[in-house]
Amino acid sequence: MDSYRYLMAIDPSLTCSGWALLSVKGGEVLAVGKIKSDPPSVALATRLEKLQGHIGKIVTSLNLGNQDVMVCEAPTTMKDPHNAIKVEQVRGLFEAAGRGRGVTVPGRVNPRSVQYEVMGLKGKQLPRVQVKAAAVRTVQYLYAADLQRLGIDAGEVSLTKHQDIVDAMLIGRFAILKVQGAIDTRQALEAVFDAPSRQNRNTWRVRSCSI
């Protein structure tokens, strides 16, 4: 397809998944939200079943279809294999819901690539608290006007309370640039998302904010 309409970006979690809907053409944020799971006291199978229902309703309400793209954050580490497997199931629920409506699901986004290409964080991995703070500042720099248009407080305190949405927006930023690069170079989206993140960097890298 030569053009796409929307891109839904997801920061998957069994606790609370953040999502953001962006315009592929203009890159602006059109909608954001969270999907919370039942507490761990509820059986995992039940939690996943309810999540599947919630995810399906949101994908349907956004009217996503074959003109749209869905991208999830990729797994990071395997320090806790049990948790990683649970999050992978949530990731699969989103992707299955998208594919069920004809949405293109070309691949996933490595969070380290987002940190490097969008947030400008280079070198040794920073502590989690510093990365999260940098993510908030980057979203303020890139999307303050979009958030205000949606009636969302773009202040640091407010965004810090919605870190799942912040992360989803940055995943979306990175993915949008990949999609736009694929359209410009007439490549299949799957090929672009499978390619090493540092290839063709000059084609789609954004100017990161000062942090």
Closest CA to 177 of 65, 23, 64: 23
pLDDT in tens, 84-99: 899 999 999 999 999 9
Q: Is the dihedral of CA 86, 36, 26, 114 positive or negative?
A: negative
Give the domain ranges of the chain: 6-204
pLDDT in tens, 19-49: 999 999 999 999 999 999 999 999 999 999 9
User: In CATH, which of 3.30.43.10, 1.10.3720.10, 3.30.420.10, 3.40.50.720 is domain 6-204?
Assistant: 3.30.420.10
Q: What is the pLDDT of residue 195?
A: 66
pLDDT in tens, 175-210: 999 999 999 999 999 999 876 544 444 444 444 443
Rounded CA-CA distance 44/41 in Å is: 9
Q: What is the pLDDT of residue 152?
A: 94
SS3 of the chain: the string is CCCCCEEEEEECCCCEEEEEEEECCCCCEEEEEEEECCCCCCCHHHHHHHHHHHHHHHHHHCCCCCCCEEEEECCCCCCCHHHHHHHHHHHHHHHHHHHHCCCECCCEECHHHHHHHCCCCCCCCCCHHHHHHHHHHHHHHHHHHHHHHCCCCCCHHHHHCCHHHHHHHHHHHHHHHHHHHHHHHCCCHHHHHHCCCCCCHHHHCCCCCCC
Q: What are phi and psi of 3, to 5 degrees?
A: -150, 155
Query: Computed over its alpha carbons, how large is the radius of gyration of the chain?
Result: 16
